[in-house]
Amino acid sequence: MPIKYLLFSILFFCNLSSFAQINGRILSKSEIPKNIKVTGNTKSVITWKEKNGEYLVILTESGNVEAPKSELELLKAELHAYCFQKNAQIFTQKWMVYDFEEPCPFDLDVRFLKNTLQITDLDQDGKAEIWLVYMLKCRSDVSPAQLKIIMYEGQQKYAMRGETKVKLTETETYGGKFKFDNAFINGQSIFRDFAKNVWAKNVNETWEE
């Protein structure tokens, strides 16, 4: 093979590899631009660059607060995930995930699971896939909690919804089922396979959390 074509091939595959690789950078709360306003207590922040620009995702939680118009001191809790795109110094909101539990007279816990916010480019198209995992609990027993995985690629939302798996005895468990939404069902199998792997890593609920 002529040297010029060999060099071209090397450069092509190097560029393809860097194009497919999208790395996120975790930010501290103090690094959030001052002109970005969100609701709730900031839990995680990540930024990355892809072929469509520079982006920022912020996860927030309200914690448990008194539900409005509640005479029985019922509680509520909510969470948000915000995605912003940066253009010069202007940040434009591209999408938002909002979920909540209310009113709750029992043990309430609404939160993103630790260390589950991540960025991938599984289909290697230069557009990031953003993965969120969170739990919704309002219960007075050992029944499963709601468990959800949300993924965005661009403006397309994918959702995997189900329940945690709880341990009843040394040999018996309950829960753990899930369903894919139509976006996942009709989407690429590589997305479903990755989602199943994330689910398996987070579905078992332990009472020490």
Peptide bond into 103 cis (omega under 30): yes
On whether residue 208 sits in a domain, the answer given is: no
State in Å, rounded, how far the first CA of the chain is from the last one: 59
Within a domain: 5: no
Residue identified by tokens 């560029």 is: 15
Indicate the number of domains in the chain. Answer: 1
- Whether 18 is in a domain gets the answer no
Among residues 146, 145, 142, the alpha carbon closest in space to that of 167 is found at 142
Tens-binned pLDDT, residue by residue, of the chain (209 aa): 454 443 333 333 344 333 347 999 999 999 999 999 999 999 999 999 999 999 999 999 999 999 887 667 899 999 999 999 999 889 999 999 999 998 999 999 999 999 999 999 999 999 999 999 999 999 988 899 999 999 999 999 999 999 999 988 888 889 999 999 999 999 999 999 999 999 999 999 876 54
Q: What SS3 class is residue 164?
A: coil
Its domain, for residue 65, covers: 23-202
Distance from C-alpha of 202 to C-alpha of 56, rounded to nearest angstrom:
24
Quote the pTM value: 0.87
Strand pairing report for 129-139 and 107-112: antiparallel
- The reply to whether 84 falls in a domain is yes
